[in-house]
Amino acid sequence: MPSETAAPPGATGDVLEALRDTRDRTLALVAQLDDDTLARVHSPLMSPLVWDLGHIAAFEDLWLAHRAGGLPLLRADLAEVYDAFETPRAQRGELPYLRRAEALAYLEQVRERVLALAADGTADGFLHELVLRHEQQHTETMLQTMELAHLPAPAPAPAPASAPAHDVAAADGALAALTGLELVEVPAGPCRVGAPAGRFAYDNERPCHELELPAFRIGRAPVTNGAFHAFVAGGGYRRPEWWSREAWAWKEQYDIERPAGWTADGCEWRMDRCEPLDPSKPVVHVSWFEADAFARAHGARLPTEAEWEKAATWEQETQTARRQPWGDAPDGDAIATHANVDQRSFGTLPVGTHPHGASPAGCLGMVGDAWEWTASRFDGYPGFAAHPYREYSEVFFGGDHRVLRGGSWATRARVATPAFRNWDHPQRRQIFAGLRIAKDV
Ligand SMILES: [Fe+2]
């Protein structure tokens, strides 16, 4: 194992506690859904929710009990059913996956083995963190399924004691009026890209490296519903000159006229509620194609990944990168005071809700609310080494996947870092994804 991928020593106790907390939240997500709803295929893009539960158990058993602990798989018969590569999402509805009661029992049995191994002192901090984040990331995928299916959100988890109430009225009125079209300038010069050593990171965030970028301008806030609605109402989906050829063909083929989840009469779906569109909230459920068209229509473009990360973390005065846009506070619950993350609001919040979350460049909402599409295709950084398995990211390199940054309201706090790279095909809209525009200087 390359030394820079190792979790810091002593992380295991914290990780075991986090595994317990994460499991509680995972189970709470589906507690109010009936068995049929859990087992149903709600969208060809998504797995049945109960498949995600069994897959979480299978992944934990594979990495912690089998590979790290040397035990035989608890359910070798299910290995293929829960292998995400053997069975693409579109086919998962046909698999003999466990239904609710069996899936919950499987989760519990695997966890018992893992805790028994940890009690023996054989726990591997890095792999525990990997398994923990895998489960947390699947809960965001499950929330995508739930929003597509208009299913109810669970009761929100109690906010951390340090979190202020979300109160945009208390924020600067000028911030509340941002639309996402206001730009800040980031001067030419160096920046750092990727996750530094000494903490957990995925292989695709490493090696951490420095880059020189020309000056650029970038949105002070993510593009809001209000700005996107003006684009729709102004004929944005009927002007081929703003769309790439490929994007236009996709839009025509599927008759796309507005972001997914928006209705023709000015409402948007948030979980099981259809609410009047709030112009001050960041837009979500747009594809990369739509994000790119919006930017072009405004004489702008999407930022590259490196530009996005520089705008989120780079401090000009000290010429160093921050861990989070607002400072070097550790990841985790501290984020809740600075960003809309951790599945607490079940939707985006008005831009300016977290004025203390601003980056050194003055950008708001870089982390949380909505993932932001970047111009960059997903590939390895120079010197990339797959770890601990090729299927996490390397097999996706070199395709048409575009990188998304910053996490969303549905991203668990532990996972939401400016170095984290998400990716998907340019036509996908199930992600809680919007955009931030950029321009050359
Ligand atoms: Fe997975």
**How far does the centroid of ligand 1 lie from the alpha carbon of residue 428, in Å?**
18
8 A C-beta contact, residue 333 and residue 383: no
Is the pLDDT score of 6 beyond 60? no
Q: CA torsion sign, 211 to 217 to 223 to 229? A: negative
Q: 13 CA distance to ligand 1 centroid (A)?
A: 24
pLDDT confidence of 125, banded at 50, 70, 90? confident
What is the Å distance from ligand 1's center to 144 Cα? Answer: 14
Q: What is the mean pLDDT of residues 85-114?
A: 88
Cross-strand partners of 301? 438
Give distance in angstroms: CA of 415 to centre of ligand 1: 15
Distance 55 CA to ligand 1 centre (A): 7
* Higher per-residue confidence, 20 vs 160: 20
In 3D, which of 261, 263, 266 has the Cα closest to residue 230?
Answer: 266
Quickly state the pLDDT bin for 5 (edges 50, 70, 90).
very low
pLDDT in tens, 228-279: 999 999 999 999 999 999 999 999 999 999 999 999 999 999 999 999 999 9
172 has pLDDT over 70: no
Q: Say how many Å lie between the CA of residue 57 and the centre of ligand 1.
A: 10
Predicted local distance difference test score (pLDDT) of residue 7: 41
More confident residue, 120 or 430: 430
Highest average pLDDT, of 94-108, 285-299, 331-345, comes from 285-299
Tell me, in angstroms, the distance from the centre of ligand 1 to residue 297's CA: 37
**Percentage of the chain modeled with pLDDT above 70:** 93
What does DSSP say about strands 371-377 and 433-434: parallel, antiparallel, or unpaired? parallel
The answer to whether the pTM exceeds 0.85 is yes
- How far is ligand 1, taken at its centre, from the CA of residue 62, in Å? 12
Closest CA to 144 of 31, 52, 28: 52
Q: Rounded CA gap, 364 and 265, in Å? A: 29
* pLDDT grade for 335, boundaries at 50, 70 and 90: confident
Place of tokens 């770890």: 387
Distance 108 CA to ligand 1 centre (A): 18
| Arithmetic mean of pLDDT, 203-207 | 96
Q: Which two tokens stand for residue 127?
A: 């792999």
pLDDT at 168: 43
Ligand 1 centroid distance, CA of 78 (Å): 14
Element (H or E) spanning 136, and its range?
helix 125-148
Ligand 1 centroid – CA 138 distance (Å): 6
CA 50 to centroid of ligand 1, rounded, Å = 13
| pLDDT of the residue at 330 | 59
Cα angle 44, 46, 48; round to 5: 100
Q: What is the DSSP letter of 28?
A: H
pLDDT digit string, tens, across residues 39-71: 999 999 999 999 999 999 999 999 999 999 999
pLDDT score at 171: 54
pLDDT-derived band at 417 (thresholds 50, 70, 90) equals very high
Q: Give tens-digit pLDDT for 325-334.
A: 999 875 555 6
Residue 4 has what pLDDT?
A: 40
- Distance from the CA of 117 to the center of ligand 1, in angstroms? 22
Compute, in angstroms, the gap from residue 406 CA to the centroid of ligand 1.
20
Give distance in angstroms: CA of 375 to centre of ligand 1: 26
CA of 390 to the centre of ligand 1 (A): 13
Distance 84 CA to ligand 1 centre (A): 6
CA 186–ligand 1 middle distance (angstroms):
37
Distance 14 CA to ligand 1 centre (A): 22
